[in-house]
């Protein structure tokens, strides 16, 4: 069950091409709908790459469309809608303990819970962007939740539970491994990182 209550701000990169968003969403729902816990791409869980989640003032006025009241000092400035070209280079899984590994074959993975998705290839511009906004948010008195030393840029497909989790065959997701354009923006998320909508 996906929690639809927004509780965090999220600086995100979202796909510029609607067909790519539809493709990854359809893929996630095709393979993981039967085992997901609190995260599965869909109408209420939008595909994105997180730059930095953060806690700020209460977000009630943002829900009414008045972001300037809630984040008076925060602005993306010329970075708003800035385009980044990202490349996904492997399919990953992360256990509940935070360990991650690429998937090289369609083999079951034993774990109580895990997160699956597409990992972004090393991108110095993205790492620099993340560090910049982490520091900026701290200076403004907000609480950034995505630490630079732990930053793992990725696009989550689903969070799963089960004693045995069957991974898709690599042939089924290899077409994701190319360069894609993403646009920088601000969004609302819940406590589990689900992107509910851009603001």
The whole-number pLDDT of residue 158 equals: 96
The whole-number pLDDT of residue 18 equals: 95
The whole-number pLDDT of residue 60 equals: 61
The whole-number pLDDT of residue 62 equals: 58
Task: Give the model confidence (pLDDT) of 41-65 as tens digits.
Answer: 999 999 999 999 998 766 665 556 5
With respect to residue 2, please indicate whether it lies within any of the assigned structural domains: no
The whole-number pLDDT of residue 100 equals: 46
With respect to residue 136, please indicate whether it lies within any of the assigned structural domains: yes
Q: Cα separation of 35 and 24, whole Å?
A: 17
Question: Other C-beta atoms within 10 Å of 168: how many?
Answer: 16
With respect to residue 24, please indicate whether it lies within any of the assigned structural domains: yes
Q: What CATH number does residue 52 fall under? A: 3.90.1140
Q: Give the count of domains, the chain.
A: 1
Q: Which of 164, 176, 150 is CA-nearest to residue 41? A: 176
Q: Say yes or no to pLDDT of 10 above 70.
A: yes
The least confident of 37-51, 146-160, 166-180 is 166-180
Q: What is the CA radius of gyration of the chain?
A: 17
Domain extent at residue 96? 8-198
With respect to residue 166, please indicate whether it lies within any of the assigned structural domains: yes
With respect to residue 186, please indicate whether it lies within any of the assigned structural domains: yes
Give the residue with greater pLDDT, 9 vs 66: 9
> At 162, is the pLDDT very low, low, confident or very high (cuts 50, 70, 90)?
confident
Q: Say yes or no to pLDDT of 77 above 50.
A: yes
Average pLDDT, integer, range 23-45: 95
User: Please, is 72 exposed, middle or buried when counting C-beta atoms within 10 Å of its C-beta (0-12, 13-18, 19+)?
Assistant: exposed
Question: Other C-beta atoms within 10 Å of 110: how many?
Answer: 10
Give the residue with greater pLDDT, 119 vs 112: 119
With respect to residue 21, please indicate whether it lies within any of the assigned structural domains: yes
pTM score over 0.95:
no
With respect to residue 3, please indicate whether it lies within any of the assigned structural domains: no
With respect to residue 1, please indicate whether it lies within any of the assigned structural domains: no
% of the chain at pLDDT higher than 70 = 82
- Residue 69's SS3 state is helix
> At 66, is the pLDDT very low, low, confident or very high (cuts 50, 70, 90)?
low
């Amino acid at each position: 069950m996906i929690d639809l209550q927004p509780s965090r701000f999220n600086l995100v990169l979202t796909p510029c091409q609607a067909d790519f968003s539809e493709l990854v969403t359809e893929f996630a729902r095709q393979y993981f709908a039967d085992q997901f816990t609190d995260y599965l791409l869909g109408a209420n869980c939008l595909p994105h790459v997180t730059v930095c989640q953060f806690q700020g003032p209460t977000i009630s006025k943002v829900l009414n469309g008045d972001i300037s009241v809630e984040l008076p000092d925060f602005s993306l400035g010329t970075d708003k809608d800035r385009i980044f070209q990202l490349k996904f280079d492997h399919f990953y899984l992360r256990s509940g303990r935070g360990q991650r590994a690429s998937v090289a074959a369609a083999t079951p993975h034993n774990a109580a819970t895990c997160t699956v998705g597409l990992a972004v290839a090393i991108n110095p511009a993205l790492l620099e962007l993340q560090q910049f906004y982490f520091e900026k948010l701290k200076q403004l008195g907000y609480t950034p939740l995505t630490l630079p030393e732990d930053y793992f840029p990725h696009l989550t497909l689903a969070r799963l539970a089960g004693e045995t989790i069957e991974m898709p065959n690599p042939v089924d997701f290899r077409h994701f491994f190319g360069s894609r354009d993403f646009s920088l923006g601000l969004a609302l998320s819940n406590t589990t990182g689900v992107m509910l909508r851009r603001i």
